[in-house]
Chains A and B, each alone.
Chain A
């Protein structure tokens, strides 16, 4: 379970997260919505300990992430798969080596035969052929890079998957492919997922629950039905962009 309580984060004078409360229960998929530049990715990076809060607590599996020691943090990260916005693949490594690096168990990582099989399996899960393993990131399309990023994130069999804008920069067809992939992986792997996105349609396709972050605060959290029924003007304004014909609560 992931729980953020009263998290505040500022960069210089700019307050990005202003006492945010956010919760993700075991096994569910939560989409964190919000306009660009509102701190969605910053919130996601708090969960994996890449950014520490100025105030508040980030609890993952009953442990406060910001208080973990180096080794404990490393152990926690081995249970979390993080899909970066632009893939963040290592340029100097081919796809096989990139995905292999996601195998966080050191003994398994050193077992070349296991790694070969595991990378092949992960590439299959994201609908990529084994031959792609020989290619370098520069030779891949945007959609393929995203899928390799997902394959790397799942290679260590994580308990949690954090997606940072998995469909940004993709055409609608490829975005739908990635959304379908996220949904399928959640079902097949049984992971708990948080997906940061500003794509409302994608979020409604994938998520069990949604949260809207704007102005540094979570202004609404709930199920799809609760979102549609919300009287909050910010929620309505945000949803109407993608569902102009829908009828929302007055």
Chain B
């Protein structure tokens, strides 16, 4: 109790702890780049990981982005009907899905799904000495475990985001035609009014950064797991929470930088 009340000491410990995490993540990233030359080891494993996280996450990503598109459409109708021409709503839906909802929702879903999976897998391997065993055999945990997961995430998460964008727009379009007197031509016209080609790139760029943070944070959490099953649970929760917070933080920063607002 006395310790927690000692604010300077608490802040000092927190700062040292945070600096230590940053340093160790730095080492992990350095290890990742060092291991890239070992492509004969990481490439086949990357294919397996990409298949696991890509195909495994497809249904939930499409489901949630589909509902998000429909809800956006219904809310846009509720808020703007009677104030602006109906076809403008198509632009609002498309832009909000491509610039925000698609990448952020996909990122948050995958932070839960992939982040938890990576942290739990690697954490279990750590506490059962499988990672030590790999090192004892003179093999690099980076090439065998880290690089395949990170690269699979960097490829599959942006790909899933593009599919989420398409699904969100399609469902928004469909639900709008159900609740509003709007033709497909009007929707298409409205969508193009606000559309700039770089918006699609912004969506992919955001998802690429989200993928980096999800994979690196969750792998770091897994690699540094301690203290048995409880530690695995702690790492898994920590990976999901930290990745989600990082996604929200990056979202603000990237929106500011990319949209120059």
Interface residues of A (CB under 8 A from B): 45, 48, 50, 70, 73-78, 80, 82, 84-86, 88-91, 101-102, 104, 152, 156
- A-B contacts besides A70-B34, A84-B132, A84-B136, 20 pairs, CB < 8 Å: A45-B132, A73-B138, A74-B140, A76-B138, A77-B136, A78-B137, A78-B138, A80-B136, A82-B136, A84-B133, A85-B129, A86-B128, A86-B129, A88-B128, A89-B130, A90-B133, A91-B130, A101-B134, A104-B138, A156-B137
Cα of A70 to Cα of B136 in the assembled complex, Å: 12
Residues of B close to A85: CB separation below 8 A: 129
Interface residues of B (CB under 8 A from A): 34, 124-125, 128-130, 132-140
Residues of A close to B136: CB separation below 8 A: 48, 50, 77, 80, 82, 84
Contact B135 A75 (CB under 8 A): no
Q: Count the A-B residue pairs with Cβ separation under 8 angstroms: how many?
A: 53
Contact B130 A88 (CB under 8 A): yes
Residues of A close to B128: CB separation below 8 A: 86, 88, 91
Q: Which applies to chain B's interface (DSSP): helix, strand, loop or mixed?
A: helix
Residues of A close to B125: CB separation below 8 A: 90-91
Residue of B nearest to A101 (CB): B137
A36 CB → nearest B CB, Å: 16
Cα of A74 to Cα of B34 in the assembled complex, Å: 14
Q: Pick from B34, B129, B130, B135: contact of A77, CB below 8 A.
A: B135
Residues of A close to B137: CB separation below 8 A: 77-78, 82, 101-102, 104, 152, 156
Residues of A close to B139: CB separation below 8 A: 74, 101
B28 CB → nearest A CB, Å: 14
A184 CB → nearest B CB, Å: 22
A-B pairs with beta carbons under 8 Å apart, 12 shown: A45-B132, A50-B132, A70-B34, A74-B139, A77-B137, A80-B136, A82-B133, A82-B137, A86-B128, A86-B129, A88-B129, A89-B133
B11 CB → nearest A CB, Å: 21
Cα of A47 to Cα of B233 in the assembled complex, Å: 31
Known: A86-B128, A88-B128. A74 touches B138 (CB 8 A): yes
Cα of A100 to Cα of B135 in the assembled complex, Å: 15
B159 CB → nearest A CB, Å: 24
A157 CB → nearest B CB, Å: 13
Residue of B nearest to A90 (CB): B130
Residues of B close to A50: CB separation below 8 A: 132, 135-136
B259 CB → nearest A CB, Å: 43
A235 CB → nearest B CB, Å: 30
B80 CB → nearest A CB, Å: 52
Cα of A78 to Cα of B138 in the assembled complex, Å: 6
Contact A88 B138 (CB under 8 A): no
Residues of A close to B130: CB separation below 8 A: 88-91
Residues of B close to A102: CB separation below 8 A: 137
Residue of A nearest to B140 (CB): A74
Contact B133 A88 (CB under 8 A): yes
Cα of A62 to Cα of B140 in the assembled complex, Å: 24
Which 5 residue pairs are nearest across A and B when measured between Cβ atoms? A88-B133, A77-B138, A82-B136, A88-B129, A74-B138
Cα of A84 to Cα of B125 in the assembled complex, Å: 13
